[in-house]
């Protein structure tokens, strides 16, 4: 008798830093969106593209691990750290399927990224080989009627919080503790990151 595959959402990003918006969305997808778990796939720094306010790979990974605490449905992964760079989503998903054949992967993306999906690396192949979950982003409406069958639009609560906003708030010395998990906020303050 065959067992059903574990439905895993792949939530990729720089998580610079991870914040409550990321966590609330992933929580929604696990509890209301039909996923068994969500993997936060921390993207390594692209050596060809320098971003001055991008925290070191291992620090962003550490903060992500602190953020998920003891919620069993969340997992933080450094899977892309060992892949050739630049790491394209299609190659990451292909490698994940080989490494974890017991899982059915669902790529999580914002409606802002869906609008420019045709600019991604091999978008048609990516679409043909994978399942996608699109969540709403302010100013980027998506018509659910026109979506391919392997793409699902979820009505996740709209939390318009960005890592850019977080970094700017920290730089300005604002007390933004409620936008970040407590352990993450305390670690950032302790290390004086993003100042």
Q: What is the pLDDT of residues 105-119, one digit of tens each?
A: 999 999 999 999 999
User: Domain residues for 105?
Assistant: 6-161
Please determine, for residue 86, whether its predicted confidence score (pLDDT) is greater than 90. no
What's the pTM value of the predicted model, to 2 decimals? 0.94
Q: Let me know if residue 150 belongs to a domain.
A: yes
Q: Let me know if residue 181 belongs to a domain.
A: no
Q: Let me know if residue 124 belongs to a domain.
A: yes
C-alpha pair distances (Å), 183 with each of 62, 162, 172, 190: 11, 18, 20, 10
Q: Let me know if residue 108 belongs to a domain.
A: yes
Give the count of domains, the chain. 1
Separation CA 10–CA 156 (nearest Å):
16
Q: Let me know if residue 1 belongs to a domain.
A: no
Q: Let me know if residue 98 belongs to a domain.
A: yes
- The CATH number of the domain holding residue 68 is 3.40.50.620
């Amino acid at each position: 008798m065959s067992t059903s595959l574990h439905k895993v959402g792949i939530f990729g990003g720089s998580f610079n830093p991870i914040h409550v918006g990321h966590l609330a969305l992933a929580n929604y997808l696990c509890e209301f969106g039909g996923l068994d778990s969500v993997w936060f796939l921390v993207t390594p720094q692209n050596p060809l593209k320098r971003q001055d306010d991008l925290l070191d790979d291992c620090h962003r990974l550490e903060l992500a691990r602190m953020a998920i605490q003891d919620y069993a449905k969340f997992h933080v992964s450094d899977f892309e750290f060992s892949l050739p760079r630049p790491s394209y989503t299609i190659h990451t998903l292909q490698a994940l399927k080989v490494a974890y054949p017991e899982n059915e992967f669902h790529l999580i993306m914002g409606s802002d990224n869906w609008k420019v999906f045709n600019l991604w690396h091999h978008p048609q192949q990516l679409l043909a080989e994978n399942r996608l979950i699109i969540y709403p982003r302010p100013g980027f409406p998506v018509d659910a009627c026109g979506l391919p069958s392997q793409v699902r639009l979820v009505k996740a609560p709209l939390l318009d919080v960005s890592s850019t906003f977080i970094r700017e708030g920290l730089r300005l010395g604002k007390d933004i503790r409620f936008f970040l998990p407590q352990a993450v906020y305390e670690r950032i303050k302790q290390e004086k990151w993003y100042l």
